[in-house]
Amino acid sequence: MKHEVVSNSNAEIVRLENAHKIYQMGTQDVNALAGITLSFTRGSFWAIMGPSGSGKSTMMNILGCLDHLTSGRYILEGQDVSTLDDDSLSELRLRKFGFIFQSFNLIAQLTVQRNIELPLYYLGWDGGRSAERARVLAQKIGLEERLKHRPAELSGGQMQRVAIARALANDPQIIFADEPTGNLDTTTGEQILQLLVELNELGKTIIMVTHESYIAAHAKHRLYMLDGLVERIDGDD
Amino acid sequence: MHQIKIVRNILLGIENLLLHKLRSLLTTLGIVFGVGSVVAMLSVGEGASKEALDSIRKLGSNNIIINAIKSIDDEAASTTRTRMSIYGLTYKDHVRVVETFKTIRQAAPVKLIRKEGRLRERALELRVVGTTPSWFELVQRPVIAGRVLLPSDENDRVPVAVLTEFGARRLLATENTIGQPLRIGGDYFEVVGIVKSESGQASNIQIPDQEVDAYIPISVARTYFGDVISRRTAGTREREMVELHQMIVQVNSTEDVEPTAKGIENMLKRFHKKKDYHISVPLALLRQAEATKRTFNIVLGSIAGISLLVGGIGIMNIMLASVTERTQEIGVRRAIGAKRRQIISQFLIETVVLSIIGGLIGIGMGVLVPSLITYFAGMPTVITLESIVLPLVISFGVGIIFGLYPAVRAAKVDPIVALRHE
């Protein structure tokens, strides 16, 4: 297959096999994913691109275990996760994934510290250990002074950095970034992307959805989608 | 570990509620008033019934009290001049009752004479009570000084008198000592003892003792004062012959009270042509008071239940709004890896914490209101442990019941949709 990234099974982290996702819109069926087969290696940095309605958001939701396939298989680290129940998928997200969103999605009433601690709370960490981890992460993103602030008191770039710290709290295998710079100005966006690049260099697999090619340029590989199918793939290596 | 987690969840719930202090307070107001009214009503009801029950118990729940009454025929007859009306219980009645019923432990006959008592220059209108030593066992009043009547006083017709605390204060004044000569009518009695007295009304039954009582042996009363009392009122002369004014009967056990009372009634019916007696059974009144209390509690309970229902619906309403408002938060939590039941418990804990806080405020209010009622209206109120624990349990229950639906709604939020929620 021309579009498949060839990889050995050890390095492979996610694989879709003939993945279909069909939504019902009124009486019409929409093929958001129309039979996709692909594979990403561990430590890669992918940008998923495509116009609105091309299925890139659906792809992200499927890969992020936020949604089920209609048919086909999704293999995550060698395990078939396409038939798992809601609780098991929650557990997977909790232990393996970190999410970064366009609108940051920090919880407004919680302080920066509490926001960063959120995954640890669900992992059952005790208060002291969580606080220490939050402090270390805040230091990494340069917001140590803001731990007691609420999101509303931060700038957009700072909020996204907090979101990244939160996404890193559980030491995830894969970081999903959905238009991470969409609500930021170019300079701040650039800083955020730089942060993602650094994380990738530290070994994290990053899957980013964007429709801007200059943003996608930061990724090592780009996957172009159209009408629920992979249109083409390019990569730096 | 698990307990720590629950405590942490509760703390987080409180923290979250504190972010919207005013809204939380308004939300829980229904519970505050619901619980407050439960506590207040329970304590007022408890106070009212306790007062009634206490005074009935003062009469003795194993006692039967038979009073002499002037029948209506007699009342009419007495308008004719100088006719003597004969009514009431007789000495024979007393003997017969005591001998017939094996269930009777003891019985005190009571003969009442209104006479002025004098001790040197002091005087007091007394109610002279001719009775036996049993009286003091049936109407248990603490002895303040000296002794009560003895069987020997009765048998030897010793002219002795026992005064009440009140009488002693009036007649003996500062010389608060026994052994003084008390003149009743034309005769002298030695004051041998002083007892405490209770006065007042217990439901419909006059309690047996009064403050102006002077107790003397019934044998002495009979010989000194006789059975005929004459009274001059507005030109007519009224004469009454009453042997005994009252009989207090104590039975062995509570089960014997009603059958014995029935038996006494049947017996008296046979020997009295007119119904010139009245039998009161404190136990029956006790039962009646308890039944009234039960009814009262049911009515109060229903009212309180309705107010708590309204309070619960109020909480549910706000929590549903809160779920809608926090859709994005729920989505983030779900995306991060929170399971459905963790979302359920988060919202449920918030609702329960809210309703318990409401319950606590309500209890505070419910405790305050009765003391104000007692202070301003003089009504007795009693706050029992039950009247505090019960509303607390109820508010917990309200939190669970009315929090469950919003919590389940929250858990059903689809993270994909929620994250697009702007």
CATH of the domain at A210: 3.40.50.300
Distance, in Å, from the CA atom of B369 to the CA atom of B356, rounded to the nearest integer, reads 19
Check whether residue B339 and residue B264 sit in a common domain: no
Closest in B4, B335, B342 to A93, CB measured: B335
CB contact under 8 A, B416 and A103: no
Q: Locate tokens 């009571």: which residue?
A: B110
**Residues in a beta bridge with B109:** B247
| Structural domain boundaries, residue B327 | 2-56+288-420
Closest in A67, A90, A97 to B338, CB measured: A90
With CA atoms as reference, report the closest residue to B159 among B111, B221, B204: B221
Q: In this predicted model, what pLDDT tens digit does every residue of B92-105 receive, in sequence order?
A: 888 888 888 889 98
Distance, in Å, from the CA atom of A171 to the CA atom of A173, rounded to the nearest integer, reads 7
Q: Is residue A185 part of a domain?
A: yes
Closest in B8, B16, B337 to A93, CB measured: B337
Helix (H) / strand (E) containing B95 = helix B91-100
**Residues in a beta bridge with B229:** B240
Q: Is residue A77 part of a domain?
A: no
Say if A183 is an interface residue toward chain B (CB within 8 Å).
Answer: no
Q: Is residue A189 part of a domain?
A: yes
Check whether residue B222 and residue B147 sit in a common domain: yes
Helix, strand, coil in percent for chain B, rounding step 5: 55, 20, 20
With CA atoms as reference, report the closest residue to A171 among A207, A202, A128, A139: A202
Handedness of CA B382, B383, B385, B387 (dihedral sign): positive
Give the distance from CA B222 to its chain's centroid: 38
Report whether A35 contacts A229 (CB < 8 A).
yes
Q: Is residue A195 part of a domain?
A: yes
Q: Is residue A7 part of a domain?
A: no
CB contact under 8 A, A109 and B419: no
**Residues in a beta bridge with B110:** B246
Q: Model-level pTM?
A: 0.71
Q: In this predicted model, what pLDDT tens digit does every residue of B144-163 receive, in sequence order?
A: 888 889 999 888 989 999 98
CB-CB neighbors (< 8 A) of B338 in chain A: 90, 94, 122
**Residues in a beta bridge with A224:** A49, A232
Q: Is residue A4 part of a domain?
A: no
Residues 6+ apart with CB under 8 A from B351: B315, B316, B319, B399, B400, B402, B403, B406, B407
Report whether B307 contacts B394 (CB < 8 A).
no
CA distance to B66, B87, B233, B304, B397, per residue, from B74 (Å): 19, 8, 17, 52, 64
Report whether A103 contacts A183 (CB < 8 A).
yes
| Structural domain boundaries, residue A215 | 42-64+85-235
Given this model, what pLDDT does residue A58 score?
A: 92
User: Could you tell me if residue A133 is left (phi over 0), alpha (psi between -120 and 50 degrees) or otherwise beta?
Assistant: alpha
Report whether B172 contacts B191 (CB < 8 A).
yes
Q: What is the CA radius of gyration of chain A?
A: 18
Q: Is residue B61 part of a domain?
A: no
Domain boundary among B252, B275, B298: B275
Q: Is residue B161 part of a domain?
A: yes
Minimum Cα–Cα distance from B346: chain A residue: A122
- Predicted complex: ipTM over 0.90: yes
Tens of pLDDT along chain B (422 residues)? 456 678 878 888 888 888 888 888 888 888 898 888 888 888 887 887 777 777 777 777 788 888 888 766 655 555 555 567 788 888 888 888 888 888 998 899 999 888 888 888 888 888 899 999 988 888 878 888 888 899 998 889 899 999 888 888 778 765 556 788 888 888 899 989 888 877 655 555 567 788 888 999 999 998 888 888 776 666 666 778 888 999 999 998 888 888 899 999 999 888 888 888 888 888 887 788 788 888 877 887 788 888 888 888 989 999 999 999 899 999 999 999 999 999 999 999 999 999 999 999 999 988 888 888 888 887 778 888 888 888 889 889 989 999 999 999 999 998 988 887 55
Q: Which of A92, A104, A105 is the best mutation test for B, with the most CBs of B within 10 A?
A: A105
Check whether residue B371 and residue B265 sit in a common domain: no
Report whether B49 contacts B292 (CB < 8 A).
yes
Say if A85 is an interface residue toward chain B (CB within 8 Å).
Answer: no
Domain boundary among B229, B244, B275: B275
Q: How many residues does the structure list for chain B?
A: 422
Taking every pair of C-alpha atoms in chain A, what is the biggest distance, in angstroms?
53
**How many structural domains comprise chain A?**
1
C-alpha dihedral, A5 to A10 to A16 to A18, nearest 10°:
80
| Residue pairs spanning A and B at CB distance below 8 A | 60
Task: Give the number of other Cβ atoms within 10 Å of residue B402's Cβ.
Answer: 27
Distance, in Å, from the CA atom of B282 to the CA atom of B278, rounded to the nearest integer, reads 13
Check whether residue B414 and residue B374 sit in a common domain: yes
Distance, in Å, from the CA atom of B80 to the CA atom of B88, rounded to the nearest integer, reads 20
Check whether residue B106 and residue B36 sit in a common domain: no
